[in-house]
Amino acid sequence: MGVRLTVKMINLDPRAKIVIVLCLSTLAVFFNTPGSLLIVLIITLLLLQIFQVKYISLIYKFRRLLPVLLVLLFVQSAFTGHGQVLIAFGDVHILTTGGVSSAGCVLLRMLILFGSAMIIATSNSRDYVLALVQLKIPYEIAFMVLIALRFLPIFIQEANDTLIAMQLRGVDIKKVAWGKKIKYFTYIFSPLVSNVLIKANQLAISMEARGFRVYPRRTYLRVLKYNLLDYLITILSLSLTLAVLTLSIVR
């Protein structure tokens, strides 16, 4: 009889989640060694597990970036040339340990940033508007963040619809040569931008019709409140991040 391990989801204030994401992103940008970034990635995956986010699909999707990482690997090796030379063609360093390290850092950093973004997705976008407003950020800026979060799925859906329309017309993008593929992508880009601009115009008209920015102050039905767990996680996240950064700089 097997034992199933379950992790109870923690309901945090959106402001605490913003602090966690800022700390993870800061560490991802600051560190430049695979070992340090791997530790940050493990912490990110543990947090995703706590928030019950299915991150396996994220790692699986990154297989498409392998050709880009291979190109980056050889570019880093050819132009930086630091580290031990593994493969060389005359005076040109095709593969070095420094290039391998740089490519690994890029992959780990991207995984951390995308993983931390998935933490943001565990709360309602409206809650983040309230969180930003209660952090004394102007409502206009908070509203722009909300619109950006709302428009990204719409942008992706419009791109998928355009690709499906092209496939129904007998065009298989995967089998098209690179020269023609760029031409087809221009066909995708034009209607995509057009549809997004139309939706943005409709949104602007709707906002004006509802009197956006008519009054200098706004009222809200709900008010976010920090509890003890939110304070503990916020203080712990900031303290650990500052301690790690301080120790790294002192060294």
Same domain, 152 and 183: yes
Number of domains in the chain: 2
Give the pLDDT score at 6.
41
Q: Is the pLDDT of residue 79 over 70?
A: no
70 domain-assigned: yes
54 domain-assigned: yes
Q: pTM (2 decimals)?
A: 0.71
Q: What is the mean pLDDT of residues 113-130?
A: 82
Same domain, 101 and 119: yes
Q: Of residues 84 and 246, which shows the higher confidence score?
A: 246
131 domain-assigned: yes
Q: Of residues 153 and 243, which shows the higher confidence score?
A: 243
Q: Of residues 209 and 161, which shows the higher confidence score?
A: 209
Write 60-66 long-range contacts (CB < 8 A, 24+): 62/107, 62/110, 62/111, 65/107, 65/110
190 domain-assigned: yes
Q: Is the pLDDT of residue 8 over 60?
A: no
What token pair was written down for 13?
Answer: 């204030």
Q: What is the mean pLDDT of residues 154-171?
A: 75
pLDDT band at 242 (very low <50, low <70, confident <90, very high): very high
Give the pLDDT score at 218.
76
Domain with 94, as residue range(s), is: 7-123+225-251
Q: Is the pLDDT of residue 68 over 60?
A: yes
Same domain, 98 and 132: no
Task: Report yes or no: 236 and 19 within 8 Å, Cβ to Cβ.
Answer: no
| Greatest mean pLDDT range, 46-50, 139-143, 185-189 | 46-50
Give the pLDDT score at 59.
66
Same domain, 41 and 97: yes
Give the pLDDT score at 240.
92
pLDDT band at 10 (very low <50, low <70, confident <90, very high): low
2 domain-assigned: no
% of the chain beyond a pLDDT of 90: 12
Q: Is the pLDDT of residue 89 over 90?
A: no
Same domain, 116 and 135: no
First to last CA, the chain: 50
Give the pLDDT score at 4.
44
Same domain, 69 and 13: yes
Same domain, 116 and 188: no
Same domain, 107 and 161: no
Give the integer Cα–Cα distance in Å for 107 and 68: 10
Q: What is the mean pLDDT of residues 115-128?
A: 82
Q: Of residues 112 and 10, which shows the higher confidence score?
A: 112
